[in-house]
């Protein structure tokens, strides 16, 4: 609509019933577009108004679906003590033809689901096929969306072990998710080490701190594990990184940039990124005994394809509020 912008709040977005399978499919296609050179995804500039906190811009243009936009996202681990979300953000879509703003939408729902969908893409291609036990460290937003996304790509999943140092968060997670997944055996466990024990796929989704927690060591890893850290390198000690056979990432350039900044210091054997994996340019898992780490640094493609699904459905269903520019 000329001179207007569609505003979509979280309740609008939730009302559209977009399923995680749709997001996973759109993101898989997005990774193929990246490998075909059909995207423009520049480096993400950040500002750091407080220690351990950042605001970051994730711009992108996806030529295949002609979608342009930007996410402006913050991560403030210190918000936890204030009862506020750690992550917050907005996404702006622009008309690629004119550059004019098309839609502004709440970004947390998108961040929550696109991150889990990217992990699910990695798990689909890198987990041992028969993986039956999933561990989740961090029973927050990412813990929940990862359970939803990973349960769709791990057909043999039976058991989920969850650790969170906050007993209330753990209790709430178990209560809510037990009803949502009656066929899965959900177990709260008292430590991260207990969660890792005998798991085949592990998600770490705790607050990221500038000084890594380094809770998990080589002795806590199992043969054939797929490690999916969404909280950067917070969880793992040097010995755990060294025990990994290969590393993959949603964005190798960004991973290397982070390494230059002093994160992921012990990551050495980077095989490549998911776009190369999905297009067959690089091989995935070679041996069911290899421990593999697939690192999600966060990629604008995931945000934009999800925002595109939302925008199209909101227009079809007349959801949201049109604002004058």
Ligand X SMILES: NC(=O)c1ccc[n+]([C@@H]2O[C@H](COP(=O)([O-])OP(=O)(O)OC[C@H]3O[C@@H](n4cnc5c(N)ncnc54)[C@H](O)[C@@H]3O)[C@@H](O)[C@H]2O)c1
165 forms part of the interface with ligand X (CB under 6 A): yes
Q: How far apart are CA 284 and CA 194, in angstroms?
A: 28
Pick one of 298, 305, 306, 314: the residue that binds ligand X (CB under 6 A).
Answer: 298
Looking at the DSSP assignment, which residues form a beta bridge with residue 42?
A: none
Residue partners of 198: CB distance under 8 A and separation at least 6:
133, 222
Q: Rounded to 5 degrees, what are φ and ψ at 97?
A: -75, -40
172 forms part of the interface with ligand X (CB under 6 A): no
Q: Rounded to 5 degrees, what are φ and ψ at 39?
A: -140, 155
> 102 or 126: whose CB is closer to ligand X?
126
Question: Which residue's beta carbon is nearest to the bound ligand X?
Answer: 140
- CA distances to 95, 267, 269, 290 from 246, rounded to whole Å, are 40, 9, 5, 8
Pick one of 139, 162, 199, 255: the residue that binds ligand X (CB under 6 A).
Answer: 139
> 206 or 294: whose CB is closer to ligand X?
206
Find the shortest distance in angstroms from Cβ 50 to ligand X: 14
Whether residue 8 contacts residue 106, with contact meaning beta carbons closer than 8 Å, is answered with: yes
Pick one of 153, 202, 205, 244: the residue that binds ligand X (CB under 6 A).
Answer: 205
Return the structure tokens found at 177.
Answer: 């998710």
> 230 or 304: whose CB is closer to ligand X?
230
Report the chain's C-alpha Rg in angstroms.
19
Q: How far apart are CA 106 and CA 110, in angstroms?
A: 8
> 229 or 320: whose CB is closer to ligand X?
229
306 forms part of the interface with ligand X (CB under 6 A): no
Site for ligand X in 74-133 (CB under 6 A): 75, 80, 86-87, 111, 115
N-term to C-term CA, the chain: 11
Total residues belonging to the chain: 325
Task: Note the maximum CA span of the chain.
Answer: 60
Q: How far is CA 34 from the centre of its chain?
A: 17
Q: Which stretch binds ligand X (CB under 6 A): 124-132, 261-269, 275-283, 290-298?
A: 290-298
Strands 4-8 and 101-106, bridge-based pairing? parallel
Size of the site for ligand X (CB under 6 A): 29
208 forms part of the interface with ligand X (CB under 6 A): yes
Question: 52 — alpha (psi -120 to 50), left (phi > 0) or beta?
Answer: left
Find the shortest distance in angstroms from Cβ 292 to ligand X: 17
Pick one of 40, 166, 185, 268: the residue that binds ligand X (CB under 6 A).
Answer: 166
> 229 or 308: whose CB is closer to ligand X?
229
Find the shortest distance in angstroms from Cβ 208 to ligand X: 4
Pick one of 142, 151, 246, 252: the residue that binds ligand X (CB under 6 A).
Answer: 142
Q: What is the dihedral sign for C-alpha 65, 311, 122, 157? A: negative
Pick one of 28, 33, 231, 303: the residue that binds ligand X (CB under 6 A).
Answer: 231
> 115 or 275: whose CB is closer to ligand X?
115
30 forms part of the interface with ligand X (CB under 6 A): no
Q: How far apart are CA 60 and CA 66, in angstroms?
A: 11
Q: Which stretch binds ligand X (CB under 6 A): 29-37, 122-130, 136-144, 312-320?
A: 136-144
Pick one of 53, 65, 132, 169: the residue that binds ligand X (CB under 6 A).
Answer: 169
The three-state secondary structure class of 2 is: coil
Find the shortest distance in angstroms from Cβ 106 to ligand X: 14
Q: How far apart are CA 38 and CA 65, in angstroms?
A: 9
Binding footprint of ligand X on the chain (CB under 6 A): 75, 80, 86-87, 111, 115, 137-143, 163-166, 169, 192, 205-208, 213, 230-231, 296-298
């Amino acid at each position: 609509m000329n001179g207007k912008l569609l505003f979509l709040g979280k309740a609008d977005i939730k009302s559209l019933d977009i399923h995680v399978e749709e997001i996973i499919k759109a993101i898989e296609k997005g990774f193929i577009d990246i490998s075909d050179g059909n995207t423009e995804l520049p480096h993400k500039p950040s500002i750091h108004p407080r220690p351990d906190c950042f605001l970051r811009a994730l711009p992108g243009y996806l030529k295949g679906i002609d979608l342009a936009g930007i996410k402006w996202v913050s991560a403030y681990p210190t918000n936890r003590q204030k009862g506020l979300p750690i992550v917050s953000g907005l996404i702006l879509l622009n008309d690629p033809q004119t550059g004019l703003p098309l839609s502004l939408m709440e970004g947390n729902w998108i961040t929550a689901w696109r991150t889990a969908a990217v992990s699910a893409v990695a798990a689909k291609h890198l987990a041992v096929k028969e993986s039956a036990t999933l561990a989740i460290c961090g029973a927050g937003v990412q813990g929940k969306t990862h359970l939803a996304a990973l349960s769709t790509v791990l057909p043999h999943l039976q058991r989920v072990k969850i650790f969170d140092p906050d007993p209330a968060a753990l209790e709430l997670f178990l209560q809510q998710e037990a009803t949502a997944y009656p066929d899965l055996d959900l177990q709260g466990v008292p430590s991260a080490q207990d969660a890792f024990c005998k798991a085949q796929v592990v998600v770490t989704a705790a607050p990221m701190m500038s000084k890594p927690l380094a809770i998990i060591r080589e002795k806590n890893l199992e043969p054939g594990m797929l490690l999916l850290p969404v909280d950067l390198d917070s969880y793992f000690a040097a010995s755990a990184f060294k025990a990994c056979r290969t590393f993959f990432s949603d964005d190798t350039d960004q991973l290397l940039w982070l390494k230059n900044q002093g994160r992921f210091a012990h990551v050495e054997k980077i095989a490549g990124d998911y776009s190369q994996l999905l297009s067959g340019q690089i091989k995935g898992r070679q041996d069911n005994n290899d421990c593999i780490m697939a690192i999600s640094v966060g990629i604008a493609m995931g945000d934009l394809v999800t925002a595109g699904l939302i925008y199209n459905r909101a227009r079809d269903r007349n959801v949201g509020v049109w604002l004058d520019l």
